[in-house]
Amino acid sequence: MSNPTVSEPAVRDEPLQLHRLTADAVLSLVCSAAGALALVWLLYERLLPFTGLVGFWLCWYVVFLLLYGLVSAARWGRRVLVDRVAGVALATGGLLVLVVVVAQIGYTVYRGTPALRHGNFFTETMGITGPLDPLTSGGVLHALIGSLEQLGLATLFSVPLGVLAALFLAEIGGSLARPVRVIVEAMTALPEIIAGLFIYAVVILTLGLEQSGFAASLALTVMMIPIVTRASEVMLRLVPNGLREASYALGASQWRTVWNVVLPTARSGLGTAVVLAMARAVGETAPVLLASGFTKELNSDPFTGPQLSLPLYIWNYVRYPQPDMVARAFGAGLALMIAVLALFVLARIIGGGTPGELTRRQQRRMARDAAAYRHDRQPVESS
């Protein structure tokens, strides 16, 4: 007589929830962090001849990742090991960057707020203010106007040249495209002081022009052109070729296609490229150090005489031993942050919308053209 077959219970195949935050995942993170802290403290402070706060936390982070990897492998298996460790590394890296940025902004606000509390900071210059004068005297009016004028001239010079170079690389190409791209990439890696030395040697020493805001704007232009060119080329290459082919099929020439199809489609991306270049140039000190000169007075004419900018103002006054002068420098740094934020907001408004989206002006013009077309078609249909 044969024994009856005993059926085994069916095993449920449940999918793994890799990105689900469970109590086990949180407990594993906490225990790994605490165990790494205890182990590193024992080795770093008691057994090994190591010192330094940075080295201690760096060793803790490495040991923490190793312990968390071992816990993940033992708890969830090797399939989840790489995902868990990579997720923790990316999250902690992003958190570290956020903490550094917030700390920098917070420290600048903390040191610069005493200067910004006084209304004269944005309405006066340093013409009659000395190192021992209180914060109720002097300000950054001359540096603020100088930065705006120099950045405006540099943007006026660099944006057309950079966009034209990007159009050449993306739309025309040919045998000259490779040398132009190599030059643009080399200019991107150019040290900032080299741009200032170039303008100082060519414009000031050779051509005989004096140190001025115009010379400083030329130095900033040398820095902004490769940034605008590279970013604009990437945006132009993202425009679908089907739009170009449709324009050519309607009988449009290449320049008409670029003007009416390619550039409007990449409008928001081009605005972002310009903002990146402006944000890079507005905070540079090395290029304007040799080209703009230094003055404590207000000079609203960028083509005549030295003209101060906010970065040069910060670089000069932060070196003073007087606390009020250092507070003025940090106040100027806070004003520079506000200016950069305003530039980003303005560029977002000007180039807003998603790529390829028509502006309200273009939509109104299309509606008028459609209404005029229907009006012209009515007499023909009635006849």
Write the CATH number for 315: 1.10.3720.10
Domain extent, residue 110, equals 23-114
Question: Which alpha helices (DSSP H) does 168-285 contain, by range?
Answer: 177-188, 192-199, 213-237, 241-249, 254-257, 263-265, 267-282
Domain end residue (candidates: 99, 114, 129): 114
Q: What local confidence, expressed as pLDDT, does residue 379 receive?
A: 60
**pLDDT band of 378, cuts 50, 70, 90:** low
Percentage of the chain beyond pLDDT 90 is 13
What is the pTM for the complete model shown?
Answer: 0.74
Quick check: is 254 in a domain? yes
Identify whether residues 212 and 327 lie together within a single domain. yes
Q: What phi-psi label fits residue 208: left (phi over 0), alpha (psi between -120 and 50 degrees) or beta?
A: left
Quick check: is 345 in a domain? yes
Q: What local confidence, expressed as pLDDT, does residue 114 receive?
A: 87
CA distance 175 to 67: 55
CB 317 within 8 A of CB 158: no
Identify whether residues 162 and 261 lie together within a single domain. yes
Helix (H, G, I), strand (E, B) or coil at 74: helix
Quick check: is 376 in a domain? no
Mind listing the pLDDT tens digit for each residue in 55-78?
888 888 888 888 888 888 877 777
Quick check: is 369 in a domain? no
Domain end residue (candidates: 114, 132, 159): 114
Identify whether residues 286 and 181 lie together within a single domain. yes
Quick check: is 30 in a domain? yes
Identify whether residues 260 and 145 lie together within a single domain. yes
Quick check: is 218 in a domain? yes
CA distance 349 to 268: 10
Mind listing the pLDDT tens digit for each residue in 210-261?
889 999 999 999 989 999 999 888 888 888 888 888 888 888 888 888 888 8
Sign of the CA dihedral 35, 39, 42, 44? negative
Mean pLDDT within 330-354: 76
Is the model's pLDDT at 11 over the cut of 50?
no
**pLDDT band of 21, cuts 50, 70, 90:** low
Identify whether residues 230 and 110 lie together within a single domain. no
Identify whether residues 253 and 348 lie together within a single domain. yes
- Residues with Cβ < 8 Å from 252, sequence gap 6 or more? 260, 261
Q: What local confidence, expressed as pLDDT, does residue 271 receive?
A: 82
Identify whether residues 109 and 153 lie together within a single domain. no
Question: Which alpha helices (DSSP H) does the chain contain, by range?
Answer: 23-41, 53-76, 78-116, 141-167, 177-188, 192-199, 213-237, 241-249, 254-257, 263-265, 267-282, 286-291, 310-317, 323-350, 360-382
Q: Say how many residues make up the chain.
A: 383
**Chain Cα centroid distance, residue 306:** 29
Domain end residue (candidates: 75, 99, 114): 114
Quick check: is 51 in a domain? yes
- Please give the residue that has the higher pLDDT: either 9 or 283: 283
Identify whether residues 155 and 107 lie together within a single domain. no
Identify whether residues 27 and 168 lie together within a single domain. no
Is the model's pLDDT at 13 over the cut of 60?
no
Please state, rounded to an integer, the average pLDDT across all residues of the chain.
Answer: 82
Mind listing the pLDDT tens digit for each residue in 80-98?
777 778 888 888 888 888 9
**pLDDT band of 20, cuts 50, 70, 90:** low
Mind listing the pLDDT tens digit for each residue in 172-222?
877 888 888 888 888 888 888 888 899 999 999 999 888 899 999 999 999
Is the model's pLDDT at 151 over the cut of 80?
yes
Mind listing the pLDDT tens digit for each residue in 319-328?
888 888 999 9
Total domains in the chain come to 2
Q: What local confidence, expressed as pLDDT, does residue 358 receive?
A: 57
Q: What local confidence, expressed as pLDDT, does residue 350 receive?
A: 62
Quick check: is 133 in a domain? no
Identify whether residues 75 and 218 lie together within a single domain. no
Angle between helix axes 141-167 and 323-350 (nearest 10 degrees) is 40
Is the model's pLDDT at 15 over the cut of 80?
no
Identify whether residues 322 and 206 lie together within a single domain. yes
Is the model's pLDDT at 112 over the cut of 50?
yes
Identify whether residues 337 and 190 lie together within a single domain. yes
